């Protein structure tokens, strides 16, 4: 499967387009998110965004629950909703009309426009495409148990990331079922779905249904 950025995401659906355009593979962007947010934040239209704390830029149209915890650098785009007890730990971009829900934790990640992580999700060192949705309790696991470098397993290829923290990359319109675990370096292609209670690793082709590691079927048109 082609796992390049251009085949996973519609870059017109994120304020991070310039960052993603400068790289071939999504994990290459992870170490650059921090500096990109600070640079972009300083240039944002003050009629649309306000810097509420140092390096925390929030669109005036966004809805932020008073119980949410937000640490910069962060950009929260227009009409996004940050719900009760969300925990945003820094180096995070939340797209237009995206939803970050109850007790969701985010760090070093990009959420495209209209992405939803609405219930008890952990998303770290990850990129979630346009209108991707993570069911309740589903998480991205971003560190291997042996703490070694994360390797992307794509068919017969093993691709080094040079990183020890890599979560998941969900293409546009991906649906992840409740209480699933996306293991370090998981990539799910556009328009694919993951069954609830799944443990996913490796690369899942676009337009697929992941039922188990041995049962991945193509969606019927």
Return d(Cα 94, Cα 188) in angstroms, integer.
20
133 catalytic per annotation: no
Return d(Cα 7, Cα 192) in angstroms, integer.
13
Residue 220: exposure state from Cβ atoms within 10 A (0-12, 13-18, ≥19): exposed
Q: Of the listed 34, 84, 119, 133, which one is catalytic?
A: 119
- The terminus-to-terminus CA distance of the chain in angstroms comes to 19
Tokens for 171, please give them: 């293409």
Residue 146: exposure state from Cβ atoms within 10 A (0-12, 13-18, ≥19): exposed
Return d(Cα 190, Cα 31) in angstroms, integer.
24
Return d(Cα 4, Cα 52) in angstroms, integer.
35
Closest CA to 137 of 66, 198, 67: 198
Question: What is the H or E stretch that residue 42 is in?
Answer: none
Hey, which residues are catalytic here?
Answer: 119
């Amino acid at each position: 499967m082609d796992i390049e950025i251009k085949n996973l995401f519609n870059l017109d659906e994120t304020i991070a387009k310039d960052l993603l355009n400068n790289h071939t593979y999504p994990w290459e962007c992870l170490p650059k998110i921090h500096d990109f947010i600070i640079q972009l934040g300083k240039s944002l239209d003050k009629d649309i965004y306000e810097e509420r704390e140092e390096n925390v830029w929030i669109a005036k149209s966004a809805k932020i629950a008073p119980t949410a915890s937000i640490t910069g650098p962060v950009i929260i785009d227009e009409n996004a909703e940050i719900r009760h007890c969300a925990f945003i730990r820094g180096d995070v971009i939340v797209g237009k009309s995206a939803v970050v829900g109850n007790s969701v934790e985010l760090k070093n990640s990009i959420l495209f426009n209209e992405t939803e992580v609405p219930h008890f999700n952990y998303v770290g060192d990850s990129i979630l495409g346009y209108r991707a949705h993570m069911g309740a309790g589903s998480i991205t696991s971003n560190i291997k148990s042996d703490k070694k470098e994360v390797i992307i397993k794509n068919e017969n290829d093993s691709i080094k990331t040079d990183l020890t923290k890599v979560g998941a990359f969900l293409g546009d319109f991906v649906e992840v079922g409740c209480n699933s675990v996306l293991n370090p370096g998981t990539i799910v292609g556009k328009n694919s779905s993951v069954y609830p209670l799944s443990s996913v690793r490796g690369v899942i082709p676009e337009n697929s249904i992941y039922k188990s590691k041995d049962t991945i079927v193509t969606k019927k048109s």
